[in-house]
């Protein structure tokens, strides 16, 4: 009988919710003074006084978002524990949030002094302890650098250096222009034929020009072409023809104006004759009547 009771009790403990389960935020809020809740935490007295001053003055160190898996604000936090809830109840141990949905977010106020941090969720004021994680940059600096030794850049192929030509100490086989002599035959002292070693100092390059100096020729612009005699004759003939045609046109216009004047005089004379005869006829009819 006792064995059965032990089995039932073990099954009930296995199926019961964990002691620090925070499955329903806001269901059992803490209604006491948050500063007094610090007395239940295992903290040094100076640290507890600093935290109490910050909480009394409402000077938060950080404002975070609490989710099922993370507590994130300006810094990252973890190890949520020692939660105060309603009725003066304190849950000693880690707080379980596994029953939260992934989309749930709750706002929390964080107060930090020395190495201790206290978090107060605004939905329920359940004062708890929380640990601040190291910054990501500090973690990156503390991680060992595991760099495999590189083989290094490929070595450049060896450069073949051409061997320097041996220095010819024999005298030059040509006649310098400044050394006297001409272009005479083989018996002349200035002969520069092949196979005859010539000794002596070389002339300086500044005294012997390499290229001949050509004088500059000024460029004169081309002059305008002068008309020839046939061109002048054509110009004179054209001017004379123009003058003749103009004189003929003037004479034709003068004759036309004089003919119009004579015709007008004849018409006026005929009109007056007709008017005289008409008046005489009318006078004869009147006298007969």
CA distance 41 to 280: 162
pLDDT at 148: 57
Nearest C-alpha neighbor of 106 from the set 88, 91, 90, 121: 121
pLDDT at 209: 53
Per-residue HEC secondary structure of 204-273 comes to: CCCCCCCCCCCCCCCCCCCCCCCCCHHHHHHHHHHHHHHHHHHHHHHHHHHHHHHHHHHHHHHHHHHHHH
CA distance 103 to 109: 20
Secondary structure letter of residue 103 according to DSSP = T
Q: Return contacts of 206-211, CB within 8 angstroms, 24+ apart.
A: 207/178, 208/177, 208/178
CA 38 to chain centre: 58
Q: Decide: 30 and 127 in contact? Cβ < 8 Å.
A: yes
> Which residues, at least 6 apart from 183, have a Cβ–Cβ distance to it below 8 Å?
190
Ranges 8-17, 44-53, 243-252, 273-282: which has the least confidence: 8-17
Based on the number of CB atoms within 10 Å of its own CB, is 60 exposed (0-12), middle (13-18) or buried (19 or more)? Answer: middle
- Our CA angle for 161, 167, 171, nearest 5°, is 155
Name the pTM for this structure.
0.44
pLDDT greater than 60 at residue 246: yes
High-pLDDT (> 70) share of the chain, %: 52
Ranges 86-90, 115-119, 172-176, 226-230: which has the least confidence: 172-176
pLDDT at 173: 53
- The string of pLDDT tens digits covering residues 121-164 is 999 999 999 999 987 665 556 666 565 555 555 566 666 655 55
No. of helices (H) and no. of strands (E), the chain = 5, 7
> Which residues, at least 6 apart from 117, have a Cβ–Cβ distance to it below 8 Å?
61, 77, 110, 111, 129, 130, 131, 132
- The string of pLDDT tens digits covering residues 57-109 is 999 999 999 999 999 999 999 999 999 888 878 888 899 999 999 999 999 99
CA distance 279 to 113: 150
User: 20-29, 30-39, 68-77, 186-195 — which one is most confidently predicted on average?
Assistant: 68-77
pLDDT at 256: 82
Based on the number of CB atoms within 10 Å of its own CB, is 80 exposed (0-12), middle (13-18) or buried (19 or more)? Answer: buried
Secondary structure letter of residue 96 according to DSSP = B
Q: Can you spell out the DSSP letters for 138-152? A: HHHHHS----PPP--
CA distance 204 to 45: 100
Q: Where residue 195 falls among pLDDT bands split at 50, 70, 90?
A: very low
- The SS3 call for residue 130 is strand
């Amino acid at each position: 009988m006792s064995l059965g009771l032990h089995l039932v009790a073990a099954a009930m403990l296995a199926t019961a919710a964990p002691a620090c389960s925070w499955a329903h935020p806001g269901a059992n809020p803490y209604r006491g003074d948050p500063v007094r809740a610090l007395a239940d935490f295992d903290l040094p007295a100076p640290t507890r006084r600093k935290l109490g001053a910050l909480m009394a003055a409402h000077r938060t160190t950080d404002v975070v978002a609490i989710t099922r898996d993370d507590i994130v604000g300006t810094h990252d936090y973890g190890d949520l524990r020692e939660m105060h809830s309603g009725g003066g109840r304190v849950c000693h141990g880690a707080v379980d949030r596994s029953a939260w949905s992934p989309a749930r977010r709750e706002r929390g106020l964080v107060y930090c002094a020395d190495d201790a941090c206290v978090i107060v969720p605004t939905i329920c004021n359940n004062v708890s302890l929380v640990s601040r994680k190291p910054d990501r940059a500090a973690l990156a600096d503390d991680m060992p650098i595991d760099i495999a030794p590189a083989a290094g850049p490929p070595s450049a192929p060896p450069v073949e250096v051409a061997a320097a030509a041996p220095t010819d100490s024999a005298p030059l086989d040509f006649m310098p222009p400044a050394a006297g002599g001409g272009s005479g035959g083989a018996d002349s002292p200035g002969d520069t034929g092949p196979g005859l070693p010539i000794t002596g100092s070389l002339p300086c390059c500044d005294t012997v020009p390499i290229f001949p100096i050509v004088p500059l020729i000024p460029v004169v612009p081309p002059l305008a072409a002068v008309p020839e005699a046939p061109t002048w004759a054509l110009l004179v003939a054209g001017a004379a023809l123009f003058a003749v045609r103009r004189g003929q046109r003037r004479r034709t216009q003068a004759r036309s104006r004089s003919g119009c004047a004579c015709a007008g005089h004849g018409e006026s004379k005929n009109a007056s004759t007709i008017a005289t005869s008409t008046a005489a006829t009318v006078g004869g009819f009147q006298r007969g009547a």
